[in-house]
Structure 1
Amino acid sequence: MNFVNRHITDPGDTARIAAQPLRSRRHKWPVRYDSIEHVALGIDIATIFVAGALSTWLYQVQDNGGNSGNAFSLTLVSSACFVSLLKSRGLYRPTELLVVRNQIRAICMAWTLLLLLIWAASGFKLHIEYSPVLVFAVCGLALLIAQRGAVKVLLAKGLSGRKFANTNIVLISDQPLSKNAGLSETLATQGFCVKGRFSLPPIGSGPALRRRISAHVIDYIRSVELNAVVLEAAPERWSELRAFVADLRVVPFPIMFVPVGTASEWARHPLRSLGSAVCAELQPGPLTAVERAGKRIIDLVGAGLALMILAPGLAAAAVAIKLDSAGPVFFRQKRCGFNGQIFSIRKFRTMHVLEDGPVIIQATPIDPRVTRVGKWLRRTSFDELPQLLNVLDGSMSLVGPRPHALPHDGQFDKLVRNYAFRRRVKPGLSGWAQIHGCRGPTPTADMIERRVQYDLWYIDNWSLRLDLAILIRTPIEILRGRNAC
């Protein structure tokens, strides 16, 4: 950005304005960058109403009639709940709207949760005669996803072409002009027009100089068309900045603070309320409340259906184990789960021994402890299926890092850096590491480190689509039989 510097007469020569020539208003959109969040929210509401109207029309075309009042009520409730869910997660911010993948994932989860809530509110009585609801669900999801792609394209075009309507600001900074040129350029791409720039007085310069500079700032602000005042400074000098801001209260414009320096890192984190206090969320949880709810629904539905479908095979395996060798059908062992909590994992017994103590020897490809039936069960991973009960009781998930026996867990924790990060999510019946061949024993540090790398990638990149992809690829990996023993 090109600035024309002009100095204001001041004894300390510390107040300087860099006035920017006015840019042409041609080809500017009638939308400001700071209004994008409200515009996107309104577009979502309009999209859901379009989906409602379209579903009602499609149903009436079939000569089925239809209650327009009920359709309007459904659309109104759906739009209010949907935008509230996304708004609470900050997904209407411009920076979030540019990440289409995250937007689609959030839309799918929020829309699915919303429809499940509507189904539950109806007393689980929605049947085929309520087909407008099904049409509304499909149309709404399709239109919302398509609309997000269009919003991303328009937003990117607006930023690259500087299309957003001007928001005139005055920048007051304690940084040299060369250092905050990057901030000025970034603001310019977002439609912010820096009308003037002032330098703050040096640290410890005294109240007299501060008042003279603030007076110059106020005089300039009153002489130009302005929308906001931006104060850029190090948080360490906040006691002086507070007095300077108090002087500027006579101007009827919002004053925004941009922290700089190492102490400003906390400001990059989202703010949360902690009782009556305001705090910065330094580390967010791996999954939000909506994502946890969606994942839990998949776990309950998937595990329940799997148990019903596989019931004959599970019963046959239980009989075969009992006839093959002495001992119980099931084997329980302590494992470390979410947040380091200990739980008992369920498996079909595949060995003559039931090891669950301070010393546990990992199975090997040719292990005399494995029974005849156990070899087949381990080869096909059929021995792991009783863990569907762990999924139902909430100690495990269908997809997640595989849990290890407690002695091995403590050993791996010392060998591999960040191993404990795996406990940020529930352990799983299958996982990202398993579909990449990381199954069976881990006799070397390299093998366990490779497995941990896959697990941490899964945690950092979790999505509903990723879980479904892992569930689909798991049977294929079992048929391949890599590293199973």
Structure 2
Amino acid sequence: MNTHTSFKAGDSSSSFLNRLFDIIAIGAALYLSLKLYGQVVTTSYIMLYFTVMAVYLYAAESVQLYRSWRIGSFSHNIFFVALCLFLAFSAMLLITFALKNTASYSRVVCVGWFTLAFCFSALWRIAGRMIKNTLHKKGFSTRKVAIIGCTANASRLITEIANRPELGLQFHGVYDDRVPDRLPECGQLLHGKIDECVESARDGAFDKLYITLPLSADKRISEIIQRLGDTTVDVHIVPDLLLYNLMHARLGNIGSVETLSVFESPYYGARDWLKRTFDVVVSTIALVLLAVPMLVIAAAIKLTSRGPVFFKQDRYGLDGKPIKVYKFRSMTVQDNGNTVIQATKNDARVTPLGAVLRRTSLDELPQFINVLKGDMSVVGPRPHAVAHNEQYRKLVAFYMLRHKVKPGITGWAQINGWRGETDSLEKMEKRVEYDLNYIKNWSLWWDTKIVFLTFFRGFTGKNVY
């Protein structure tokens, strides 16, 4: 008998409804604000509404406001609503000011519109949350959950279920064939053996089953899934800790063959456009504001040491393709071959001016030109010399996955202290760990946060020479 198994993405109907409710809430806020102040709905206000909605939805996608699988805290959700509205109305004001059209609109109406838009958008979320929680407490729309495998992932899953009553999940128990003494993770919650789990599933004791066994036990997982095919329970596989930390899972297909990505750039579809827009805007503003300081630095380099102003070093860019990275020259030599020696404390190769530039990261400013060209991003894993890449790719697991995105001027590893000289393997491993964490969880909001924190944490460091 031929069978066909299909991967399917999660239900997006709730995300669609969330967008629709926001569109209605912001539209209703404008209408009510106009009525309250005795104004009429005109074509100009309708165009203003579409402008606000375009920026709001753009910002909402950037901060992943509607990602149903990414359920954050409720307070964060409300905060992001306020942030998106602030950005949308700020953009509206800038556009109307640039077009010298501010006199056509009532300031009182616009302030009332913003206030009501936030209130309506927050209220429907609060009401929805209260309704869900009330229904779940009364036993409506709840689902019983069981877990196969007493692992670290199982413990994390149990904690999430307990801390998120809005999900409507009721924990039933954990099943594992090992004795409780060998189950330090969640042995006290052991409900029975795996065979008992399968029998309970057949009897309808629970609705959803999560398999948290390590993926190295693929034969055992396959056997369990085969047996669960005789039940009506929803079965989910939770990736083990290694793949969980690295996976950027997304469903795709080649013709009729469906695939699941494991290692992939997070910038696909509109996300690539969002990232590039952010890079172009930030780098353009930076180059305009820093033009005079950069000219002063260039003149100082030329006057204090012999050699060119800029140093162009070979680095790996997106997908490991070579790029030329621009820096202000800070050394008397320009190492760019098969062997590159990292700068160390009191390095004789570093010029007096170069020491100041390197310690304050001012030598990196020309890389905004790389960003504008499209070779780099404002935020991303810092690019290493080609020689260092070839060295560490053999020593650090998953090292080359850093190149699934464009290298950045600043990054998550840098603002957390993992920058400068890597004189031990452990330091490079920690840098790679932070870089991969950034790639896996990327959002435009996170980029904005990193840029902001760079001003307080990222310009100096104890390992920078």
Give the TM-score of the pair, scaled to structure 2: 0.64
- Asked if 1:312 corresponds to 2:312, the answer is no
The answer for the alignment partner of 2:402 in structure 1 is: 422
The answer for the alignment partner of 2:303 in structure 1 is: 323
- Asked if 1:342 corresponds to 2:322, the answer is yes
The one-letter code sitting in structure 1 at the alignment partner of 2:27 is G
Following superposition, the deviation at residue 70 of structure 1 comes to 5.5
Following superposition, the deviation at residue 377 of structure 1 comes to 0.9
The answer for the alignment partner of 1:164 in structure 2 is: 141
CA RMSD of aligned residues (A): 4.8
Following superposition, the deviation at residue 396 of structure 1 comes to 1.2
CA distances 1:260-300 after superposition (whole Å, capped 9, x unpaired): 999xxxxxx7644434x241323364244333333322222
CA distances 1:398-428 after superposition (whole Å, capped 9, x unpaired): 1111110000011011111111121122211
- Secondary structure of the structure 2 residue equivalent to 1:415: coil
5 Å-filtered alignment, 1:263-302, equals: 271-275=251-255, 277-283=256-262, 285-302=265-282
- Asked if 1:371 corresponds to 2:361, the answer is no
CA contact 1:400–1:455 (8 Å) conserved in 2: yes
Distance 1:133 1:335 in 2: 49
Following superposition, the deviation at residue 474 of structure 1 comes to 1.4
Q: Percent identity?
A: 31
Distance 1:326 1:424 in 2: 38
Distance 1:85 1:185 in 2: 43
- Asked if 1:187 corresponds to 2:187, the answer is no
Distance 1:464 1:83 in 2: 13
CA contact 2:14–2:68 (8 Å) conserved in 1: no
CA contact 1:395–1:426 (8 Å) conserved in 2: yes
CA distances 1:62-112 after superposition (whole Å, capped 9, x unpaired): 56x45345555776898799899999xx99786556775996799799989
CA contact 1:162–1:188 (8 Å) conserved in 2: no
**What residue ranges of structure 2 are gaps of 5+ in the alignment?**
1-10, 144-193, 210-223, 239-248
The answer for the alignment partner of 2:148 in structure 1 is: none
Following superposition, the deviation at residue 342 of structure 1 comes to 1.3
Corresponding residue to 2:417 among 425, 437, 445: 437
The answer for the alignment partner of 2:41 in structure 1 is: 67
The answer for the alignment partner of 1:49 in structure 2 is: 24
> Which one is further off, 375-384 or 365-374?
365-374
5 Å-filtered alignment, 1:132-281, equals: 140=117, 143-144=120-121, 147-148=124-125, 150-152=127-129, 154-159=131-136, 161-164=138-141, 178-179=197-198, 181=200, 184-187=204-207, 271-275=251-255, 277-281=256-260
Following superposition, the deviation at residue 379 of structure 1 comes to 1.6
Q: Structure 1 residues 116 and 414, CA, compared in 2 at 3 Å: closer, same or farther?
A: farther
Q: Structure 1 residues 42 and 440, CA, compared in 2 at 3 Å: closer, same or farther?
A: closer
CA contact 1:111–1:141 (8 Å) conserved in 2: yes
The answer for the alignment partner of 2:153 in structure 1 is: none
The one-letter code sitting in structure 2 at the alignment partner of 1:281 is L
Distance 1:308 1:80 in 2: 27
CA contact 1:98–1:155 (8 Å) conserved in 2: no
Q: Structure 1 residues 165 and 309, CA, compared in 2 at 3 Å: closer, same or farther?
A: closer
Q: Flag the structure with larger Rg.
A: 1
The answer for the alignment partner of 2:179 in structure 1 is: none
Following superposition, the deviation at residue 311 of structure 1 comes to 1.4
Q: Structure 1 residues 280 and 108, CA, compared in 2 at 3 Å: closer, same or farther?
A: farther
Give the TM-score of the pair, scaled to structure 1: 0.62
- Asked if 1:469 corresponds to 2:459, the answer is no
**What residue ranges of structure 1 are gaps of 5+ in the alignment?**
1-35, 167-174, 190-232, 242-255, 263-268
Q: Structure 1 residues 362 and 68, CA, compared in 2 at 3 Å: closer, same or farther?
A: same
Distance 1:359 1:344 in 2: 17
What is the count of residue pairs matched by the alignment? 375
Q: Structure 1 residues 58 and 473, CA, compared in 2 at 3 Å: closer, same or farther?
A: same
The one-letter code sitting in structure 1 at the alignment partner of 2:200 is A
